[in-house]
Amino acid sequence: MTPLAEVTAFAPATVANLGPGFDVLGLALTGPGDTVTARRVAGGGVRLVSVDGDGGRLPRDGSNTATIAAEGTLRRAGIDAGVELSLVKGLPLGSGLGSSAASAAAAACAVNVLVGSPLRKVDLVAACVDAEAVVSGKHADNAAAAVLGGLILVRSVEPLDLIRLPVPDGLTIVVATPKLELSTRAARAVLPESIPLRALVANAANIAAFVAACHSGDLGLLARSAHDAVVTPARARLIPGCEQVFSAALDAGALGVSISGAGPSVFAWCRSERSGAEVGAAMVAAFALVGLPAEPLVCPADGPGARRL
């Protein structure tokens, strides 16, 4: 087989937490994402040579998640190669859509294919988790969904233990992303240092019910399990109009609604694409009432993960 000189890969936006599943649940979206091109060059090491679509704000050095994930992929493969990366950002920064995870996942996928695909996808997730740890803490919900696609439950990060959950037929996810940036670090800083026992029990019950709903296809149960008693109340205060957006989504027919990842994007579960369109319009209108333009995304709740283009 002739060695590849260049590979381009894409990784999608993701929604993490999904209500009660803080750092535990993640889902891949269909639509926007990041693209990375990896090229073989003389010598060794990984170098990020260009980033487009970020307004010049992201680092062009070894602290970019794309670079870290690419280096981790080569290390896990036991390969010493010279690689140049070009990153095209298709996701806004600080949007709650897994922007840093998408960069890492696209880079890991591209580099793995470039060197002959020696690694399994779960090994790529591990490289992306290490990259995420540098910028936003060690968690795998966005990274796992970005690499693997679909709906993923993270039972453990160390050791990495991932479980793919079935997605009920027809389940649609709607995401409204306002023109507001909210860093993951800032969103984590407002989290409570201690959790009341009642809230812990409620979230544990809701995660268990969510998993049961996925396996049974019971959308009514899924709707009842969308509530988060711990993280969402703390973060909602950082997003203007958040409670109004929640109410608008539910009034328009959403099964459940919560914050996407660290925010400020808000997502809703819907029964169909048609219902999703109505809910998305209601969420955008609610954000507009507090002066925030927002973009809606409506897609099946079972998007594909990182892949070669």
Q: Which two tokens stand for residue 237?
A: 């205060």
pTM for the model stands at 0.95
What is the pLDDT, as a whole number, of residue 170? 92
Q: Is 132 assigned a catalytic role?
A: yes
What is the pLDDT, as a whole number, of residue 62? 86
Q: Is 30 assigned a catalytic role?
A: no
Mean pLDDT of all residues in 72-101: 96
pLDDT in tens, 48-63: 999 999 888 888 888 9
Q: Which amino acid is at 35?
A: T
Nearest alpha carbon to residue 67 among 14, 135, 3 = 135
In order of their start, the domains of the chain are: 6-165 (3.30.230.10), 172-300 (3.30.70.890)
| 22 pLDDT higher than 90 | yes
What is the pLDDT, as a whole number, of residue 188? 86
Nearest alpha carbon to residue 237 among 295, 202, 197, 189 = 189
Mean pLDDT of all residues in the chain? 95
SS (H, E, C) the chain: CCCCCEEEEEEEEEEECCCCCCCCEEEEEEEEEEEEEEEEECCCEEEEEEEECCCCCCCCCCCCHHHHHHHHHHHHHCCCCEEEEEEECCCCCCCCCCHHHHHHHHHHHHHHHHCCCCCCHHHHHHHHHHHHHHHHCCCCHHHHHHHHECEEEEEECCCCEEEEECCCCCCEEEEEEECCCCCHHHHHHCCCCCCCHHHHHHHHHHHHHHHHHHHHCCHHHHHHCCCCCCHHHHHHCCCCCHHHHHHHHHHCCCCEEEECCCCCCEEEEECCHHHHHHHHHHHHHHHHHCCCCEEEEEEECCCECCEEC
Catalytic residue among 35, 65, 132, 177: 132
Catalytic residue among 65, 67, 184, 232: 184
What is the pLDDT, as a whole number, of residue 186? 84
Q: Which two tokens stand for residue 15?
A: 């929604």
